[in-house]
Chain A
């Protein structure tokens, strides 16, 4: 969290329960649903999307944490849905590129990808 100077918006109490080892960045949720494998308890999603659908998609994919980059304002509906569904939402002023770079440098690997047909 201090690595990306992030602010926890929801699910703070769950922070101790998750261990993030891999990451995936997307601004199109279908790309996330199409590409990422299904075992995602250790995956963080880095995105520029702020609407409640990031929480829905995370729940669907069993992704425990979402980082919203570029310091974008995250609406209340998204935060309260994150709280309700037990998704850790983090906001950072950093852009997606830098956020990913710092995480990668800290040893976070890429999410497992489903190979195309």
Chain B
């Protein structure tokens, strides 16, 4: 254990040294390489109880505790100005102490795009990119920009097995047009329009000799979008010069994949939705943030609405309702000496399972309450500590509570 701590500290001492040099690159045509990492030590306590009558004769209880180090996330960015109007950007991300040998964690390229500056107010991006949806989607994996270690449920990759975040917000896009216009000396109006693939579950996972359905049999490559419908989205916002006031509304249209039985909440056998096909889906996002003196307030709402008309023509699905919502609010107070404290609350509710199992845990919702603080050790390093408790609201199926005590360091290099 002691060797592990010493190793982590030595790694960070090396990163401190590298950071000073990395920021000194200066030529207009240089390839800029920079990034960040976040390492954490997490103490986890989970209590889980499934009530009897759901395929089990007596209550099933489980208590689990664990302490774990993790290289939470490392991102490496490459940026190069190809000419005055064109920029290339690449983001490589490893999370969860990635190792192909163990195996553990994930390695992915969440972004790889080229941007064309059409004029002073308009920019076109094409490639794999993070779309503008609310305030946090574009920066949710930029951990040094966030006061906390464990993000709100819809944004935290470590909790992705609890809820599919793509049910609530778009994950990526391939073409995005963004613009900005001054409306007063201190305020500007910004907008974005984007197009992308439908959700990841439509992407082909076909392997040679492992073809289960006709669509996958016709697949040309792994990851090919097997749906004709695409994602269309936009965001309209107003912010001030110093970004201490920001408000926006976001909208998307795509289709939800219900072509296979789905159980996205705690894998309870009784809570599986039947096959419904592709269901038109509208997401609405609202974000509002402001800073006054040493306080920073941030909040978001996501509402997911479906066009159920077609699916409700089937008698068995007459009461089907796949709508969902999520909201989150955070308050941070920064002291003069680079110390800060924060607290956030989030909640999501999903009505998807109600028509097959009234009183479902998803409809009751999952709430998270968190508090913590941080200290900016220097320009590139922040020490953070966080306590988080997450509870399943009262429902007919289970009781569930998670408690995390986490300490970690974000470093920019």
Do these two chains really belong together in a complex?
Answer: no
